[in-house]
Structure 1
Amino acid sequence: MAARLRALAPIAVPVIALIALVATYHRTLSVGVAIIVGVVLIAAVLAAVHHAEVVAHKVGEPLGSIVLAVAVTIIEVGLIITLMLGGDGHDTETLARDTAFAAVMITCNGIVGLSLVLGSIRHGLPRFNREGTGAALGVVATLAGLTLVLPAFTVGASGGRFTGAQLAFIAIAAIALYIAFIATQTGRHRDFFLPVNKAGKTIQSDDEHATPPTNRQTAISGVLLAVSLLAVVALGHAVSPTIEHGLESAGIPSTFVGVVIAFIVLLPEGLAASRAAMKNRLQTSLNLAFGSSIASIGLTIPVIAVASIWIEGPLVLGLGPVQIVLLVLTLLVATLTVVPGRSTRLQGVIHLIILAAFVFLSISP
């Protein structure tokens, strides 16, 4: 019975989300209704990623990785843009920055830390490929530095903003870095990103031997993916006033909305990375963590940069001093984690503590 429900959930959830979308369209939601819609929203995110994975398995690599990244990016960008359009401009000008930074902190500390802890508890001293993981971390550091740190110091535009020419250059550079990373991960150096055993030998992924979905299954997943993405973006817009009101009532800064978006969007990756770590596939967990961070910045920021042409108000990308300190600390610790090529519980706990500090300081700056 439970297995049947799990099989039906990816089909039922998009339909339920679509019904919820119609029921809440242009309506003010009570707290109780908003909570129910929020649960449906999270379920729709999980369903969207599931159907993206089905399509990705069918088309293979490198298109598969691109499908997954684009699906997650559509969810993230859609939520950001709907909130920016629905806000008054003052509380939403930093939303893209806050969401991208939160994604980096959650992936590089939360997903990585949890994976290290689970993998170490279950398998003692799990190993991973230093070459591939180090390359991915280098891309994360470069993207974060160019898009989130650099605008805090440029003088062309004040207040942590880029000039139009600077923003265009950074958007192109981010896309170029993302494409270069995907080409490396799925091309000549693909073996750098495959799991390794205790002896450091490459292990082929179990997914490669799984039977690909049929054309009919792929078509159904494609349609349900589109429905899920539409529902996620629309439901996110529906519950956003309740979220913002709740944060205001609790005395939490409005910038915490970006953290909420990042947690929702990255929930599927976190679950998948945890499962991989428990199966002694720590390399897969790190691929998901750093790959999600790269996609979150490398695709989201360029899309938001283009959207800013039509969205009123400034686009602030530069981080503040506290955020820069947390980012530098994260990248430093992540580098020390990657260098040995094996993990311990202590390393995982350090990353989780940094994440806890980020969340606490986001609530109480």
Structure 2
Amino acid sequence: MKQKLPLPLWTIATPILAWIAYFGMSLDLGNFYAIVLAAALIGGVLAAVHHAEVVAHQVGEPYGTLLLALAITIIEVALIVSLMLTGGPETAALARDTVLAAVMIILTGIIGMCLLVGGVRYKEQVFSLPGVSAALVTLTAILVLTLILPNYTTSRQGPEYSPVQLGFVAIVSLVLYGTFVLVQAVRHRDFFLPPEADGDEDVHAAPPGKKVALLSALLLLICLGIVVLLAKALAPDIENAVINAGAPKSLVGVIIAAVVLLPEGLAAYRAARKNRLQTSLNLALGSALASIGLTIPAVAIVSIVTGMTITLGIDMKSTVLLLLSQFTIMLSLATGRTNILQGVVLLVIFAVYLFTIVAP
């Protein structure tokens, strides 16, 4: 008798084929090979989403969403740090641009899409207000301290922190994020638990088992690693396409951030379609917190050790859009219930963010 595989075959084969495609770049097979890499990237993203859901189902909320957010953010931080170390002074604003793009994509793009699809399918969706409030309070503090306050300090000219200030803000960011994780995973875990939704077959389905979950966790890391490496490999082609289209070079960072966030975005979207908005919000807000709460300390260490100057302060246009996004998110999630209107408003702000990059 044939033994049934613990996971769908495509979720195992796809990351392996993606890694083979990545190492095949050394063969210099021409421009057509970029299409192969793009297909491998999409396959890696879809496989990552599947394995993330398997792990999340085994460990339960909010540990599953926390695991996916941390895994993607750690790999994202490793990518940014490696680019900083190899790129030199030209990458001074890389961390700022990447973090800003990631936060805007999450707050307005991913959450907006989740609220929209949930509103279309279910009219109204509910979530645990204390958990979302805790995430938003922490996120607001970290955003202002890392991306806005540097514009108003006077120890250094320009939107930069001095080494002492940078080290202090890095510690503060870690304290805030660490406290949030403690509240989410230990002290007030019930704040982040989703209410049971009628018609959600996954709520009562049996967990996949420890062996299957461990295999999925390993494959998840493999998928996330190849997604980031393929995104980095495709960056020159994306940059050429953006330049040929006459768009600003800053759009490249947004595209790369969007690619890296695809697994989280798809997982959040699928949860919203199954009427699990709490899971979507846990994943989205947790990812935003991890992205900025871990990236800034990492690049601060690189800056202090190497003496490299990093630019953190964002310009006035970005400040207005960021504060508008944060204010709108707070109002949208203030009642514990959402509908189609909040999703449309957030997606409109996301569209304005993208439009002002192309036409500043």
Tell me the TM-score normalized by structure 1. 0.85
Whichever residue aligns with residue 350 of structure 2, its letter is L
* 2:124 and 2:338 in contact (8 A); partners too: yes
Gaps of 5+ in 1: none
Q: Is the 1:82–1:233 contact (alpha carbons within 8 Å) kept by the matching residues of 2?
A: no
> What is the distance in 1 between the residues matched to 2:208 and 2:43?
22
Alignment of 1:270-285 (within 5 A): 270-285=265-280
Contact preservation (8 Å) 1:136, 1:181: yes
Change in Cα spacing, 1:309 to 1:291, as seen in structure 2 (3 Å) is same
Structure 1 residue 282 displacement after superposition: 2.0
Change in Cα spacing, 1:171 to 1:339, as seen in structure 2 (3 Å) is same
Q: Map Cα deviations across residues 234-272 of structure 1 (whole Å, 9 max, x no partner).
A: 323322222222222223222222211221122222222
Choose the corresponding residue for 1:348, options 329, 343, 352: 343
Match of 1:9 in 2: 10
| Structure 2 residue aligned with 1:142 | 141
Deviation at 1:10, TM superposition (A): 1.7
Which of 295, 298, 301 pairs up with 2:293? Answer: 298
Residue 110 (structure 2) pairs with residue 115 (structure 1):
no
Per the alignment, residue 326 of structure 1 pairs with: 321
Structure 1 pair 279–170 and aligned structure 2 pair: CA distance change class (3 A) = same
Shift of residue 312, structure 1, vs aligned partner: 7.7
In the TM superposition, 1:145-294 aligns within 5 A as 145-196=144-195, 210-294=205-289
CA contact (8 A) 1:148 1:319 kept: yes
1:181/1:29 Cα in 2 relative to 1: closer, same or farther (>3 Å)? farther
SS at match of 2:337: coil
Q: CA deviation at 1:158?
A: 2.7
Q: Partners of 2:104 and 2:189 in 1: how far apart? A: 26
Between the two proteins, what is the percent identity of the paired residues?
Answer: 47
Give the C-alpha shift of residue 108 in structure 1: 1.2
Aligned partners of 1:278, 1:57: CA distance in 2, in Å? Answer: 16
Q: CA deviation at 1:123?
A: 1.5
8 A Cα contact 1:126 1:280, kept in partner: yes
Give the partner amino acid of 1:287.
N
Matched, 1:335 2:330: yes
Contact 2:115/2:342, CA 8 A, preserved across alignment: yes
1:116-169 CA-partner distances (Å, limit 9, x unpaired): 222222222222222221221111111111111111222222332222122222
Residues in 2 aligned to 1:336 and 1:66: alpha-carbon distance in whole angstroms: 24
**Distance verdict in 2 for CA 1:120–1:8, change over 3 Å:** same
1:41–1:235 Cα contact (<8 Å) kept? yes
In the other structure, the counterpart of 1:67 is 67
Provide Cα deviations, 1:154-197, integer angstroms capped at 9, x if missing partner.
22223322221222222221121112112212223222223347
C-alpha distance in structure 2 between counterparts of 1:277 and 1:162, whole Å: 39
Q: Is residue 2:77 matched to residue 1:77?
A: yes
Deviation string 1:7-51 (CA, Å, 9 cap, x unpaired) is 2222111111111121114x7674432232123123324434544
Q: C-alpha distance in 1, partners of 2:104/2:135?
A: 15
- Structure-1 residue corresponding to 2:20: 19
Contact 2:128 2:192 in 1 (8 A): yes
With over 3 angstroms needed to count, the CA separation of the structure-2 counterparts of 1:214 and 1:274, relative to structure 1, is: closer
Q: 1:81 to 1:247 in 2, by over 3 A?
A: farther
- Separation of aligned partners in 2, 1:330 and 1:340: 17
1:249-303 Cα distance to aligned partner (Å, 9 max, x none)? 2232222222112211222222222222222222222222211111111122222
> Structure 1's 211 and 63: CA in aligned 2 closer, same or farther, altered over 3 A?
same
TM-score if structure 2 supplies the norm length?
Answer: 0.87
What CA distance in whole angstroms lies between the structure 1 residues aligned with 2:50 and 2:159?
37
Instruction: State the secondary structure of the residue aligned to 2:261.
Output: helix
Rounded to whole Å, the distance in 1 between the matches of 2:15 and 2:274 is 29
- What residue in structure 2 maps to residue 103 of structure 1? 102
When residues 130 and 216 of structure 1 are mapped into structure 2, their CA distance, relative to the original with a 3 A threshold, is: closer
- Conserved in 2, the CA contact under 8 Å of 1:29 and 1:242? no
Mark the runs of 5 or more structure 2 residues left unpaired by the alignment. Answer: none
Partner of 1:307: 302
Q: What is the deviation of 1:102?
A: 1.4
1:187 is paired with a residue whose SS is helix
Is 1:89–1:312's contact at 8 Å kept on the other side of the alignment? no
Root-mean-square deviation (CA, aligned residues, Å) is 2.9
